[in-house]
């Protein structure tokens, strides 16, 4: 016949691999044995009850209280997640007969550039289209059957000019109803040329 110590050790060994329901049954077994145990075995039983309780707590999922959670680190911005892409696309239209540049339109995206080109271009079944996508940039060229470029869509880098102080003052004056400083900007350029 097994002694109380052997029974407690057996429960303790099985507890490491037990699920929460089995752990509850083991707690009931230990509580049932506890009243009949001698002092040393009762201390072992109390320690085992604490261990079984901790093992149950480890398996139980509890809701998280948002007020006790540390704040989440900020998420990276879209600029950090998305590959760099040009801000604008330039659509150039050329004369079908002579290849002269007729019009340039700047739009905000490649799909919009293609839409503008499709709306404006007079398609010919013999036209050849070359399209591609590389480094996050789209490009499209339409040529006549003679090889003349009819339209071209290319990514452009948006130049970021710095507004000089005298230009800003002239624009401010114009907003206030005084056109002379703005007019002087361009008459001074003509005189230099």
Domain hosting 50: range is: 4-59
pLDDT of residue 1: 46
pLDDT of residue 63: 67
Which tens digit of pLDDT belongs to each residue from 113-136?
Answer: 999 999 998 888 899 999 988 888
Q: Classify residue 11 by burial, with Cβ atoms within 10 Å: 0-12, 13-18, 19+.
A: buried
Q: Would residue 127 count as lying in a domain?
A: yes
Is residue 56 predicted with pLDDT exceeding 90? no
Q: Would residue 77 count as lying in a domain?
A: no
Is residue 68 predicted with pLDDT exceeding 70? no
Question: Which tops the pLDDT comparison, 157 or 166?
Answer: 166
Which tokens is 153 given? Answer: 């869509």
Structurally, how many domains does the chain consist of?
Answer: 2
Residue 44 CB partners (closer than 8 Å, separation 6+): 5, 8, 37
pLDDT of residue 91: 93
Q: Would residue 103 count as lying in a domain?
A: yes
Residue 139 CB partners (closer than 8 Å, separation 6+): 131, 132, 133, 152, 153, 154, 155
Q: Once rounded to an integer, what is the mean pLDDT over residues 67-76? A: 68
């Amino acid at each position: 016949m097994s002694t109380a110590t052997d029974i407690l050790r057996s429960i303790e060994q099985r507890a490491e691999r037990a699920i929460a329901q089995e752990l509850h049954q083991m707690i009931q077994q230990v509580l049932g044995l506890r009243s009949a145990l001698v002092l040393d075995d009762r201390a072992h039983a109390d320690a085992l009850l604490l261990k079984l309780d901790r093992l149950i707590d480890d398996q139980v999922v509890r809701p998280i209280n948002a007020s006790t959670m540390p704040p989440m680190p900020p998420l990276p911005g879209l600029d950090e997640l998305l590959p760099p892409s040009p801000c604008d696309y330039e659509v150039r239209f050329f004369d079908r007969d002579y290849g002269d540049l007729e019009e340039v339109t700047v739009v905000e995206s490649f799909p919009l550039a293609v839409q503008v080109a499709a709306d404006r271009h007079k398609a010919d079944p013999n036209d050849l289209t070359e399209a591609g996508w590389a480094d996050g940039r789209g490009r499209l060229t339409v040529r006549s059957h003679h090889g003349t470029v009819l339209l071209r869509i290319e990514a452009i880098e948006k130049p970021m000019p710095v507004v000089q102080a005298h230009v800003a003052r002239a624009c401010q004056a114009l907003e206030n109803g005084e056109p002379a400083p703005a007019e002087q900007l361009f008459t001074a350029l003509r005189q230099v040329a």
